[in-house]
Chain A
């Protein structure tokens, strides 16, 4: 069984989570052109890499951010939106877990 570390509830089975897609900045709809908007709506950053993603812990209704390697499926960090741990870019998931547990 795969596990994921919810920043509010700790390590839980993956089946309790829903994937919310890549975290992306929305362009300003009032000022962006049609092409920029279409690109935001449809196009994805889709080659394998480390990505910031939205995840949802459904039993507790918690949306949070995970940094994940989409090639190896390793989660490097999880944290609440806006609360990125200072060292979020490190590749030591263990240290991160203690911090957010």
Chain B
């Protein structure tokens, strides 16, 4: 060991092992092509290879992997949703996350923090009770707590929020966690690559060939690739892809912004969300406060961030934590959130044979990365929607069977 270390040190060349091969020239054809090298696309590739033995698969990413919303989110993982279908789905994802560092052999810094959704009004308390009961019914650990328990978990918070919006109670969700988001993309990429999946960065899909209602292939910036199965997992770019194949969806793109403060000693152990103040905050393992807010108010296809956002967000954070008024915000950024009218994803088959959609992840899709990959891989391999995603099917809008998840998803990502 010591000898090898010495040899390495004197060797002069310190090559980092690559996470995945540097693929440059795609083959003429693949059994499946995945558009988008975010967490969702890479997880789908991983489970296609692992669960279904499909390894002749290409992932096409127009930038670099994890550079979309996967690397821009505030990493909250939870399952305290409102509808039983939603709770079951996200619970399956949380369970996969819990074992994922071991499975992918990479430290995801998955840390269980506990998650408080603060209620400042009687009507918010009603929603919390409703969510707690649905969660318990499905077997998910959530309960309504009073201000004493909140004060104990976070003694630094001003429970009156500077007198503006006194906290009445909260929904406490013990499994709530945070993770290192880019490691999720990198871990899935390495796992998929090691089983034979080819990952192409800087490779943009420019159009999709469909003949007689069946996918034939994709035109890319690296040439034409023929394939019978295409998965679109492009989050904020979904409308541009669905336009290529003439599919209509209810998705609307809104920017969603976030920011971090300078690092501090650890003081905030839990994840706090306030729907009324439109903020949520957690402290990362580096000591930064990671903070976010609700969506920008109108459609824009851009990742620009704004001063209005930091100004509004920090004024509410200071209401909750007056002692933070001297702390500096050091970075801010934005992502494009693909919002659906019922705050649930659109997953599964589409009217075009061989064209599969994993979209509508809006502000809430990071936590679903493992389960969406697993269920989309199943759906593609069997050309049949996985049971867990039945209520997220694309046709639900024409059938007027929307899911009603808004109460649990709008601010608390």
Which chain A residues have a beta carbon within 8 Å of chain B's beta carbons?
A: 1-2, 15, 18-19, 34-35, 38-39, 41-44, 46-48, 51, 70-73
Across the interface, do B341 and A46 meet the contact criterion of CB distance under 8 Å? no
Asked if B243 is at the interface (CB within 8 A of a chain A CB), the reply is: yes
Question: Chain B residues with Cβ under 8 A from A34's Cβ?
Answer: 398
Interface string of B208-249 (1 = CB under 8 A from A): 000000000000000000000000000000011011000011
Q: List 27 A-B contacts (CB under 8 A).
A: A18-B297, A38-B400, A39-B248, A39-B398, A41-B397, A42-B341, A42-B397, A42-B398, A43-B249, A43-B397, A44-B248, A44-B250, A44-B251, A46-B239, A46-B251, A46-B252, A46-B299, A47-B243, A48-B253, A48-B301, A51-B299, A70-B253, A71-B300, A71-B301, A71-B302, A73-B300, A73-B302
The residue from A39, A41, A70 contacting B299, defined by CB atoms under 8 A apart: A70
The majority secondary structure among interface residues of chain B is loop
Question: Chain A residues with Cβ under 8 A from B239's Cβ?
Answer: 46-48
Besides A1-B308, A46-B250, 9 more A-B contacts (Cβ < 8 Å) are: A39-B248, A41-B397, A42-B397, A42-B398, A43-B248, A44-B252, A70-B299, A73-B300, A73-B302
Asked if B3 is at the interface (CB within 8 A of a chain A CB), the reply is: no
* A2–chain B nearest beta-carbon distance, Å: 8
Question: Chain A residues with Cβ under 8 A from B397's Cβ?
Answer: 38, 41-43
* A71–chain B nearest beta-carbon distance, Å: 5
Whether A48 contacts B240 in the complex (CB less than 8 A), given A35-B398, A38-B397, A70-B300, comes out as yes
Across the interface, do A19 and B398 meet the contact criterion of CB distance under 8 Å? no
**CA of A55 to CA of B313 in the docked complex: distance in angstroms?**
24
Question: Chain A residues with Cβ under 8 A from B14's Cβ?
Answer: none
Question: In residues 113-133 of chain B, which contact A (Cβ within 8 Å)?
Answer: none
Question: Chain B residues with Cβ under 8 A from A38's Cβ?
Answer: 397-398, 400
Across the interface, do B249 and A46 meet the contact criterion of CB distance under 8 Å? yes
**CA of A41 to CA of B304 in the docked complex: distance in angstroms?**
30
* A66–chain B nearest beta-carbon distance, Å: 10
Question: Chain B residues with Cβ under 8 A from A72's Cβ?
Answer: 302
